[in-house]
Amino acid sequence: MIGLAWAYFRRRIILVTAACGIMLGVAVLVTVLGVFQGFLLEFQGSIRQFSGDMVLQVPRYAEGGEQELEELLLEQPEIVTAQPHLDWFGLVGRRGSRSLTDPRSADLNGLVLLGVDEQELAIPPAQEEGAVPMQLGKVLADKLGLDVGDTIEVVTHRNGARGPVPVRRSFELTGTFASGRFDLDLDRAFVRRQDLADLARTEPSVTSYKVMLREDVDADLFREELEQRLEAARLGPFSTPRIRTWRDLGGNFLRAVENQKGMLATVFSFIILVAAYQLIATLLLTVTEKRRDIGVLGALGASPGRIVLFFVGLGLMIATIGTAMGLLLGWWLIENLDRVELWLGGGKPIFLPEVYKFDHIPVAVDFPAILMVVGATLAAAALFSLLPAWRAARMRIVHALDRR
């Protein structure tokens, strides 16, 4: 039976065409799932790189209260590290640029100054004596035309007796970083926390904690428990810290990407469904053209059940070959997506980093989703093969052998 099914497949171009239709549907769906899975993983990774699994927004404690909070966090068995951050806003430009005297200038760039400790990020020291080191995102450094060793002018504010006071400070660019996210590389700068605290004259010099959890701890579930522990500890005279997980930090954008992945997977699944549905017409035509073969099989003693199994098996063979070729084509598209992008865009990139946030097309193979695609394709092929198989099994031997 298998040999006869293979002979039918090799000699009938319509069966090969049906397999090619399934191949294209599977390849497109695998590629879409790979791109969205890669986008989600890299987006989640970039959030955790800068903010950890959790961010605790520190309220204004009485003197020493923030130290008690840090000690309490490190006592929690679920928490691996709790890194203090000082987040401050500033405007940055090149030394001598008119942006520093004219805030309407396009040379002026707003960014978040992230004050970190040496234990989290070793910022290279400044070469010029007395200069304050800073690390900029490579995208912003290239935009400003800055190289390592250049001087950066920052305009920010400090806390004064009567409110915020504007202040200007020079930094030395001692290094750049590339997170892979266009927006983060454009509006983040790392400085030493104590240098930023001296500039801003803020005390305590902590506005948040970057918390990393054990890999087996779910951040969303642990947040409620941590809130209860902090509430019971009664640290400081004010409210407990506001806790935000990495999913909260991803916000609507992260949820939109997850929803978009599900929607596109559903839409492209219909492509495979339509390709599998074509097996009904393809196999019905095969039954009509091969009725003498069916009559011969019946005359040789093949039961209606075996004839049903033969045509269902033929449909599964077509789907299996199409699925295998689709997986290979999808894998090739994922591995050569940059080349395909330039080919589709006529030599120009389609995925612009300003829109899609990443400076490249992130891809990752989603093995559970691929297994579901394979299983659903084969199940649909078996289902749609039943009608032609049932019609072949009902064919009377005498009529099947009639040459007229």
For residue 167, give the H/E element and its range: strand 163-177
pLDDT of residue 190: 92
Residue 63 CB burial class (10 angstroms; 0-12, 13-18, ≥19): exposed
The alpha carbon dihedral of 332, 335, 337, 339 has a sign of negative
For residue 8, give the H/E element and its range: helix 2-11
pLDDT of residue 98: 44
User: Locate tokens 């899975």: which residue?
Assistant: 37
The alpha carbon dihedral of 25, 27, 28, 33 has a sign of positive
* Integer CA distances (angstroms), 265 to 37, 84, 369, in order: 11, 41, 9
Say how far apart CA 370 and CA 166 lie, in whole Å. 56
pLDDT of residue 382: 85
What is the block-wise mean pLDDT of the chain (404 residues), using blocks of 10 residues? 66 81 87 85 82 82 65 88 89 59 57 87 83 88 85 82 80 86 82 88 81 90 87 65 84 77 78 78 70 61 72 84 91 85 74 68 83 88 82 60 52
Start-end of H helices in 187-245:
193-200, 219-233
Question: How long, in residues, is the chain?
Answer: 404
Q: What is the widest separation between alpha-carbon atoms in the chain?
A: 105
Q: What is the 3-state secondary structure (H, E, C) of 109-131?
A: EEEEEEEECCCCCCCCCCCCCCC
